[in-house]
Amino acid sequence: MYLIILALLALYIFIVYKFIEDFPFKNSIIIYLATFSIGLFLYLTFDKGILTFFWILESLGLLILGIMLKEKYFRYVSLSWLESASYD
């Protein structure tokens, strides 16, 4: 079941990158939806003890991606998510 969800997410990312190449906010549409999907997958799969750790890893991954793409809003979202995930 989970492999099907991840395969559909990968297919979505491939299709979106193929068809919206000239859209100016292409990165935000793809990465925010993928991050939300991964976060929802983690929430539905793991218990609260390990969930905080995985959410922190995901927000650090988004921070690294924001630094690599030189997008400020990815960094802001990941740092705010990192702060909120640390309070769980």
Question: Residue 74's pLDDT is what?
Answer: 78
pLDDT tens digits along 37-69:
788 888 888 888 888 888 888 888 888 888 887
Asked if the structure places residue 7 within a domain, the reply is yes
Q: Residue 86 pLDDT more than 70?
A: no
Asked if residue 22 is part of any domain, the answer here is no
Query: What is the domain count for the chain?
Result: 1
- Structural domain contains residue 55: yes
Q: What pLDDT, on the 0 to 100 scale, is given for residue 30? A: 72
Q: Mutual orientation of helices 26-45 and 48-69 as an angle, nearest 10°?
A: 170
- Residue span of the structural domain in which 34 resides: 2-17+29-85
The tens digit of pLDDT for each residue in 4-41 reads 776 777 787 777 777 777 766 666 777 777 788 788 88
**Is 70 within a domain?**
yes
Q: 9 in a domain, yes or no?
A: yes
Residue 50 lies in a domain: yes
Q: Do 6 and 38 meet the contact criterion of CB atoms below 8 Å apart? A: no
Q: Determine the pLDDT at residue 39.
A: 82
